[in-house]
Amino acid sequence: MSFRLCWHSLALCAIITFLGLLEGCQAILPPGDRAHYVFHGDQRSPGEIRAAGGFLPRRQTRYHRPTTFSLLHYAQGRWNRAYVSTSTQFGQAAVNFAGAGNYVYRIHITPNMIDVNDVLSASSPFPSQREYAALGGIPWDAVQGWWRIPLSENSNIFSLFNNLVCGSNDAADLVTYRYERDYEPLFSPNADYDGERYVGSHVQTSADADASVLGATNIRQAIADLAGAAERFMHRHGSAVGWRAGQTFPLWVPVPGTEESRRRRCPSVSGSSDDDSNLPSK
């Protein structure tokens, strides 16, 4: 192990220990009901997200490839995927997917979201991320609000949002624990949020037949039905997010000239390969 890596590990432990001791000196409120919202970390500003109509998969997503709809490939971090990532854990979005100078968005649950850990079960490669994957995308009016993490945090050795801590589940858990008390009051509300539109929405699980197909771990066996399962899923669960009868992907046409989400802050948190050349194509 190199000196640099040793120093990194010791410094990370020092940060977590310091913040843990600080927590012990402060009263902690019990976490509130988080059943109706999730978080998404992004480098783009609210104005950019609004101009884009919300959150979409990459503009270059190849929807004609069945593996684009594989939840396993999505969870492994493959770039060619039909999903937008969210997490039930504020800390995961803030520490590992946003970071200093970037944004954390709080989003109402939408019915096209799938519980990744539930569907993939033991095959979920990063269960600590507690991800809900939104098939097709998330409209802007599902965003409840946002917080921009101050850039000044990046120069603070005891910051939970600097690059040194990026990838630490311990740091992410601590930030999640402190959400209601320390961070929720910092969020700016979205004037375009349409709460009525999403009342009663719930996340889909392995109990949904098409979600189970999308979460198949034997992709060779499921490949013939992945695209069909994705369209059936959206026909049943996508109307609230704008899916129309008879349409196909994308959920909406990307707005020309709008910015796309860039690479995740922590490449080590998930993979990035799109190589499925050994799988049958369709």
pLDDT tens readout for residues 221-276: 999 999 999 999 999 999 999 999 999 999 999 988 787 776 555 555 554 344 44
| Residue 105 burial (C-beta neighbours within 10 Å; 0-12, 13-18, 19+) | buried
Residue 180 in 3-state DSSP? helix
- Which percentage of the chain shows pLDDT scores above 70? 75
| Residue 211 burial (C-beta neighbours within 10 Å; 0-12, 13-18, 19+) | buried
Looking at residues 197-218, what average pLDDT do you find? 96
Tell which wins on pLDDT, 159 or 85: 85
Q: How many CB atoms lie within 10 A of CB 152?
A: 10
Tell which wins on pLDDT, 141 or 259: 141
Looking at residues 172-190, what average pLDDT do you find? 88
Q: Give the pLDDT score at 152.
A: 64
Q: How many CB atoms lie within 10 A of CB 102?
A: 20
Looking at residues 199-207, what average pLDDT do you find? 95
Looking at residues 148-174, what average pLDDT do you find? 66
Q: Give the pLDDT score at 27.
A: 41
**Residues 139, 238 contacting (CB under 8 angstroms):** no
Q: Is the pLDDT of residue 25 over 50?
A: no
Rounded distance between C-alpha atoms, residue 176 and residue 19, angstroms: 13
Tell which wins on pLDDT, 167 or 131: 131
Annotation marks residue 131 as catalytic: yes
Looking at residues 150-179, what average pLDDT do you find? 68
Name the residue ranges covered by the structural domains of the chain.
37-241
Q: Give the pLDDT score at 260.
A: 77
CATH architecture for the domain at 37-241: Alpha-Beta Complex (3.90)
Tell which wins on pLDDT, 223 or 100: 223
pTM score, whole prediction: 0.82
Task: Report the range of poorest mean pLDDT among 16-25, 37-46, 64-73, 178-187.
Answer: 16-25
Q: Give the pLDDT score at 23.
A: 44
- Give the pLDDT band (50/70/90) at residue 13: low
Q: Give the pLDDT score at 163.
A: 60
From the list 23, 48, 131, 231, the catalytic residue is 131
- Give the pLDDT band (50/70/90) at residue 7: very low
Task: Report the range of poorest mean pLDDT among 17-31, 88-102, 160-174.
Answer: 17-31
Q: Give the pLDDT score at 6.
A: 46
pLDDT digits (tens, 9 = 90+) for 58-91: 989 999 999 999 999 999 988 889 999 999 999 8
Q: Give the pLDDT score at 77.
A: 87
Rounded distance between C-alpha atoms, residue 160 and residue 75, angstroms: 24
The pair of structure tokens assigned to 46 is 């609210």
